[in-house]
């Protein structure tokens, strides 16, 4: 199983910026923890971070046919980007959106996620641990999708006989 982990703007500044909101961990430390968990479960992760909306859209589109699911923290773009939402809808892959802070306890403009409408689920407010929760959730969702596809293929093969 292969999962793309896509990180949005300013997440490269984790550990430096607003530690009272985002905590002291760097993005690299979060990714290292995710790698350790993924390795234990036979999951391959591909990491990508950009401060540019178009690059995130391009990366989402590149996921089509190359990964089984997407774990995304669109960061500020979750509140503004119809383009990222449309890209996620277009690739139609299992997607879990993660937010380090609880967006529902923040400023009003941060309490709505446009991209969530194209996500299978959203995890918000658990700090860096949210990425671990997202990874567990996404691997379960992908496993279920693959199981259903295998059952459908078996049924079609029986009909063809």
Per-residue pLDDT tens for 84-106? 999 999 999 999 999 998 888 77
Domains annotated for the chain, with CATH where assigned, are 2-160 (3.40.50.9100)
Per-residue pLDDT tens for 107-131? 787 778 999 999 999 999 999 999 9
Q: Catalytic positions, please?
A: 22, 99
Q: 35 exposed, middle or buried (CB, 10 Å; 0-12, 13-18, 19+)?
A: middle
């Amino acid at each position: 199983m292969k999962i793309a982990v896509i990180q949005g703007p300013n997440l490269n500044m984790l550990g430096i910026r607003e530690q009272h909101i985002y905590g002291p961990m760097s993005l690299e430390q979060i990714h290292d923890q995710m790698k350790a968990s993924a390795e234990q479960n036979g999951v391959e992760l591909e990491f990508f971070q950009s401060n540019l909306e178009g690059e995130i859209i391009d990366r989402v589109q590149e996921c089509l046919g190359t990964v089984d699911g997407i774990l995304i923290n669109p960061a500020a773009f979750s509140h503004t980007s119809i383009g990222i939402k449309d890209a996620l809808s277009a690739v139609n892959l299992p997607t879990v959106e993660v937010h380090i802070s609880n967006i529902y306890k923040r400023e009003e403009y941060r309490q709505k996620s446009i991209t969530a409408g194209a996500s299978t689920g959203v995890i918000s407010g658990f700090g860096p641990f949210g990425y671990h929760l997202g990874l567990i959730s996404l691997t379960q969702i992908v496993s279920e999708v693959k199981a259903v596809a295998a059952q459908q293929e078996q049924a079609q093969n029986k009909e063809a006989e």
